[in-house]
Amino acid sequence: MTFLETFFFGNVDPQSRAVKPGSRADKLRIYITDHLPEIENALPDEQRGVLEKIMDAQGELDTISELDSFIVGFRLGAAFTYDTFVNTDTPYRDLTEKL
């Protein structure tokens, strides 16, 4: 199956990735997971709700940022591809070109 066929059938999922064990991202995730209950338990009930809303908002902001990075990266890749295979503008000409 070609990439375009795979894409057409919805089998391309750029987000289906796992954090590598022991990586910086994994260590940060563990740190957050380990310390969040400590913070939640130290807060009064009404402030726990505020913290939860802040965390939800941060998650939504992260998703927006990831989408933007994906779009910008895709556009950069398309620009590289266009310049490589379509655009023939160069500062010099090939010696085989007719004037």
Residue-wise pLDDT for 73-92, tens only, equals: 999 999 999 988 888 888 88
In which band, very low, low, confident or very high, does the pLDDT at 19 lie, cut at 50, 70 and 90? very high
Number of structural domains in the chain: 1
64 domain-assigned: yes
4 domain-assigned: no
62: Cα within 13 Å, side-chain hemisphere: 6
77: containing domain: 17-85
CA–CA separation, 38 and 42 (whole Å): 6
Residue 92, pLDDT score: 85
Residue 93, pLDDT score: 82
- Cβ atoms of 53 and 43 closer than 8 Å: no
95 domain-assigned: no
CA–CA separation, 92 and 90 (whole Å): 5
The per-residue pLDDT for range 45-73, each reduced to its tens digit, is 989 999 999 999 999 999 999 999 989 99
Residue 35, pLDDT score: 95
End-to-end CA distance of the chain: 45
**Hey, what amino acid is at 34?**
D
71 domain-assigned: yes
58 domain-assigned: yes
Residue 24, pLDDT score: 97
Residue 78, pLDDT score: 93
